[in-house]
C-alpha cells in the first residue's frame, strides 16, 4: 500500500503573515529546481495531513488522491516515508523576509546533498545575537571550505542563480563568489575565507565549523557562527580597507561595539583566526582594561592589495598572491575574460542587452581609462 509524506527544501506557515491575509496559508520549496509553491484552502489541509503522516493512499478520497499526485509532481510530496527531505512540522517565519528565510533553507539543503559543510554569516543572525540593530539584509551570506564555493555555485545554477565568476575565482585573492539572483530575487555571497583573518583559509573555516551554533531556517537546521566569531566577522566587515582607504573612527567604534557585546572571549577568538592585526584598534577600544598589545600580530595577506588606490595597483598586488604556475592563466583571464564571466560581470549589469563582443569592447575602453588615470 502506498504511503504519502510531505517533502520540501523549506516550508513556512504564513497564516499569521501578511500573505495569509491574501489567502495563502503555506509556502513550500520543492525538492527539485523551481520556485516556492503557495498552498491554500483544501490544498493546505491535505499537505498538513502529509506533514503529520504517513498517509495511506487508501485513506484519501479520489479528489485528495489527485491533489497528492499533483503535489508529487510539484516536488512537495513523496511515496517514501524515509525521504531525506521529509517535513514533519511547519513553523511561522522568524525572519522579516519570507523569501530570504526560504533561500537559507534551500542553500542548506543543496549544500548538504553535495556534501558541502556550510555556515550562514551576517544577516538576521547578527540581529538575533544582539550584534546589530538592523534585522534584514539584502542578500544571503554563507561560508564554505576553500574550493567548495564553485561547487556550491554550480549546484545552485539549476535553481536560477548565476555565478559571477572572475579571473581570481578560486585563488587566494577573492574571498567570496557572488551568485546573482534569478526569479527568487535574492543574491547569495559564498565566502571561502574572510578578509582580515591571517590564519589559513582551511584553518579559519575549521575553527568556524567547530565553534558554530545551530539555528533553524524555514524548518531546516543550519550552522551559524558563535557570537564571538560572528562579532569578529562583523567587526572585520566594518574596518577592512576600501580602495586604499583605512577605516575611519566611526568604523573602528562600530567594530568595537560588536566586540564588546560578545565579550572578552572575542580576544581569544581573534587570536585563533589571526584577526588581531586587523582589529587591534577596535579590540583596544572594546577592552581598555585588558592591556592588549599586538606588536607581533600577523598582517593579513589581502591587506596588500586592499590598500591600493588604483585598479592596476590592485591587480599587480593581487597577482603576487598567486603561485607562478597559475599567474599566466589568471592574467590571461584578466585581459580576456570568458564569455560566462563577462555575462555575469559589472559591465554586463550596466549593459544587459549587449552581446559578448560589445561587452569586451566596453571593458577594454574602461581599462584604457583606468590606465590613463594610473599614468597621470
Residues 6+ away with beta carbon under 8 Å from 198: 273, 274, 275, 277, 278, 297, 298, 299, 300, 301
Q: Which residue has the cell 560581470?
A: 345
Task: Please write the tens of the pLDDT for every residue from 144-174.
Answer: 999 899 999 999 999 999 888 776 676 666 7
In this prediction, residue 30 carries a pLDDT of 97
User: Strand, helix or coil at 177?
Assistant: strand
* Contact present, 109 and 85 (Cβ < 8 Å): yes
Helices 41-52 and 62-74 pack at an angle, to 10 degrees, of 80
**How do residues 307-360 score in pLDDT, each as one tens digit?**
777 777 777 677 667 776 766 666 666 655 666 665 666 665 665 665 555 656
**pLDDT score of 366:** 59
Cell triple for residue 226? 558563535
- Interhelix angle for 265-273 vs 276-286, to 10°? 170
Of 44-53, 110-119, 128-137, 157-166, the range with the lowest mean pLDDT is 128-137
Q: Cis omega before residue 54 (within 30°)? A: yes
> Given strand 220-224, what is the order of strands in its sheet?
162-163, 176-180, 188-191, 140-144, 118-121, 220-224, 213-217
The answer to which of 13-27, 223-237, 273-287, 339-353 has the lowest mean pLDDT is: 339-353
Which of residues 305 and 151 earns the better pLDDT score? 151
pLDDT score, position 256: 93
Here the cell at position 204 is: 579559519
pLDDT at 127 exceeding the cut of 60: yes
Residue 246 has what pLDDT?
A: 80
Q: Determine what percent of the chain is predicted with pLDDT higher than 70.
A: 81
- The confidence score (pLDDT) of residue 166 equals 75
d(Cα 213, Cα 230) in Å, to the nearest integer?
Answer: 10
Cβ density class 293-325: b for 16+ within 10 Å, e for less = ebeebeebebbebbbbeebeebbebbbeebeee
Distances in whole angstroms, Cα of residue 222 to Cα of each of 209, 219, 268: 11, 10, 25
Q: 116-120, 223-227, 251-255: which range is least confident on average?
A: 251-255
**pLDDT higher than threshold 90 for residue 368:** no
* pLDDT at residue 350 in the model: 60
Q: Is 289 exposed, middle or buried (0-12, 13-18, 19+ CB in 10 A)?
A: exposed
Range from 85-89, 132-136, 350-354 carrying the lowest mean pLDDT: 350-354
pLDDT band at 227 (very low <50, low <70, confident <90, very high): very high
From residue 204, alpha-carbon distances to 211, 228, 246, 366 in Å are 11, 14, 24, 36
Q: Which helix (H) or strand (E) holds 76?
A: none
Residues 67-82, mean pLDDT to the nearest whole number: 95
Whether residue 232 has pLDDT greater than 60: yes
Handedness of CA 340, 346, 347, 353 (dihedral sign): positive
Query: For the chain, which residues make up each domain, given as ranges?
Result: 3-78, 98-290, 305-375
Q: What is the pTM of this model?
A: 0.85
Whole-number Å distance between alpha carbons of 67 and 48: 13
pLDDT in the model for residue 359: 55
131, pLDDT greater than 60: yes
Average pLDDT score, the chain: 85
Answer yes or no: is pLDDT of 189 > 60. Answer: yes
Q: How far apart are CA 56 and CA 76, in angstroms?
A: 17
Q: What is the CA angle 211-123-174, rounded to 5? A: 75
Using CB atoms within 10 A of its CB, is residue 58 exposed (0-12), middle (13-18) or buried (19+)?
A: exposed
Higher confidence at residue 356 or residue 200?
Answer: 200
Who wins on pLDDT, 303 or 79? 79
| Topology of the domain comprising 98-290 | Beta Polymerase; domain 2 (3.30.460)
Residue 214: what pLDDT? 95
- CB-CB contact of 156 with 178 (8 Å): no
Query: How do residues 34-63 score in pLDDT, each as one tens digit?
Result: 999 999 999 999 999 999 989 998 899 999
87: left (phi over 0), alpha (psi -120 to 50) or beta: beta
Bigger pLDDT: 211 vs 304: 211
Q: What is the pLDDT of residues 1-44, one digit of tens each?
A: 789 999 999 999 998 777 666 778 999 999 999 999 999 999 99
Nearest alpha carbon to residue 217 among 81, 51, 99, 76: 99
The pLDDT of residue 265 is 94
Show the cell assigned to 290.
585588558
Amino acid at each position: 500500500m502506498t504511503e504519502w509524506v510531505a517533502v520540501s527544501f523549506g516550508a513556512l506557515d504564513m497564516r499569521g503573515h501578511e500573505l495569509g491575509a491574501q489567502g495563502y496559508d503555506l509556502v513550500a520549496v520543492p525538492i527539485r529546481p523551481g520556485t516556492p509553491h503557495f498552498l491554500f484552502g483544501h490544498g493546505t489541509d491535505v499537505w498538513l495531513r502529509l506533514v503529520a503522516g504517513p498517509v495511506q493512499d487508501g485513506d484519501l478520497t479520489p479528489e485528495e488522491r489527485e491533489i497528492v499526485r499533483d503535489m508529487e509532481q510539484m516536488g512537495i510530496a513523496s511515496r517514501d516515508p524515509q525521504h531525506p527531505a521529509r517535513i514533519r512540522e511547519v513553523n511561522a517565519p522568524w525572519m522579516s523576509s519570507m523569501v530570504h528565510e526560504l533561500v537559507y533553507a534551500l542553500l542548506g539543503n543543496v549544500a548538504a546533498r553535495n556534501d558541502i559543510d556550510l555556515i550562514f554569516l551576517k544577516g538576521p543572525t547578527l540581529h538575533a545575537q544582539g550584534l546589530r540593530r538592523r534585522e534584514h539584509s539584502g542578500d544571503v551570506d554563507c561560508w564554505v571550505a576553500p574550493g567548495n564555493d564553485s561547487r556550491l555555485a554550480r549546484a545552485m545554477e539549476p535553481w536560477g542563480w548565476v555565478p559571477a565568476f572572475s579571473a581570481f575565482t578560486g585563488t587566494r585573492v577573492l574571498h567570496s563568489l557572488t551568485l546573482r539572483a534569478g526569479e527568487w530575487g535574492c543574491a547569495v555571497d559564498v565566502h571561502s575565507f574572510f578578509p582580515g583573518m591571517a590564519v589559513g583559509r582551511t584553518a579559519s573555516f575549521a575553527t568556524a565549523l567547530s565553534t558554530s551554533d545551530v539555528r533553524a531556517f524555514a524548518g531546516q537546521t543550519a550552522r551559524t557562527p558563535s557570537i564571538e566569531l560572528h562579532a569578529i566577522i562583523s567587526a572585520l566587515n566594518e574596518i577592512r580597507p576600501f580602495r586604499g582607504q583605512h577605516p575611519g573612527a566611526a568604523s573602528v567604534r562600530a567594530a568595537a561595539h560588536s566586540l564588546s557585546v560578545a565579550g572578552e572571549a572575542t580576544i581569544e577568538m581573534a587570536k585563533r583566526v589571526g584577526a588581531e592585526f586587523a582589529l587591534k584598534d577596535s579590540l583596544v577600544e572594546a577592552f581598555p582594561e585588558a592591556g592588549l598589545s599586538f606588536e607581533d600580530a600577523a598582517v593579513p595577506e589581502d591587506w596588500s592589495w586592499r590598500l591600493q588606490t588604483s585598479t592596476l595597483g590592485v591587480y599587480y598586488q593581487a597577482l603576487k598572491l598567486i603561485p607562478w604556475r597559475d599567474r599566466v592563466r589568471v592574467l590571461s583571464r584578466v585581459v580576456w575574460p570568458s564569455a560566462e564571466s563577462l555575462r555575469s560581470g559589472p559591465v554586463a549589469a550596466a549593459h544587459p542587452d549587449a552581446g559578448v563582443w560589445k561587452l569586451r569592447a566596453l571593458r577594454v575602453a574602461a581599462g584604457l581609462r583606468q590606465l590613463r588615470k594610473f599614468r597621470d
